Amino acid sequence: MSSTEHRIINALRKDARMTLAKIAELSGLPTSTVYDRMRKLKGDARFTAHINFAQYGYPLRVLLIMNAQGDLNYLKEHPSINSFYRLEGKSSYCAEAHFRSFKELREFIEDLPLETEVHCNFVSEELKHEAQELP
């Protein structure tokens, strides 16, 4: 990644709704350069929203650490699973999930169609979502 792209991405990480003029001002680049680079970056980029699930009735945020064997599509496609990762180490997978209640979480775990050892870790506080700037 070029230093120009690096500066643009850092500006967007601070505020993804920032105007081209503001990005140009913060990065010290001409607006035309920012426009051209952003068009190029959009082919590689994926834009997402950071959602406060608790505000929408899903107060229980859980990291499910598991050693699973079998078809993982159930986990990949389940609406309660927000993110799903393959791990290297003692456990095989980690899923970030959101539930309305402990009952809903328990039913989810009981319905898992896999041979799965699941450890639930409840998120009590998010200390950092993601870095504001790339290193």
In percent, the amount of the chain with pLDDT more than 90 equals: 41
One domain, residues 57 and 101: yes
Residue 84, domain member (yes or no):
yes
The verdict on pTM exceeding 0.75 is: no
Q: Angle 122-127-133 (CA atoms, 0-180°, nearest 5)?
A: 135
Are residue 25 and residue 72 in the same domain, yes or no? no
Same-domain pairing of 78 and 57: yes
Q: Tell the residue number behind the tokens 């643009």, with chain if given.
A: 8
Q: pLDDT digits over 62-118, tens only? A: 999 998 887 888 899 999 999 999 999 999 999 999 999 999 999 999 988 877 788
Same domain for 87 and 35 = no
Q: For 83, list phi and psi in degrees, rounded to 5.
A: -140, 150
Q: Which domain holds residue 10?
A: 3-42
* Pair 35, 60 in one domain: no
Q: pLDDT at residue 134 above 70?
A: no
Query: Residue 103, CB half-sphere, CA atoms under 13 Å: how many?
Result: 0
Are 96 and 60 contained in the same domain? yes
Please give the single-letter amino acid code of residue 96. Answer: E
Domain count, the chain: 2
- Tokens at 57, concatenated: 């009735």
Characterize the bridge pairing of strands 93-99 and 81-86. Answer: antiparallel
CATH of residue 38:
1.10.10
Q: Are residues 96 and 67 in the same domain?
A: yes
What's 61's domain CATH number? 3.30.70.920
In a domain? residue 30: yes
Q: Mean pLDDT of all residues in the chain?
A: 86
| DSSP letter (8 states) at residue 30 | -
Q: Which long-range CB contacts under 8 A does 74-82 form with residues at least 24 apart? A: 74/112, 74/113, 74/114, 75/112, 75/114, 78/108, 80/104, 80/108, 82/53
Q: Is the same domain home to 61 and 115?
A: yes
What are the structure tokens assigned to 67, written together? Answer: 């050693």
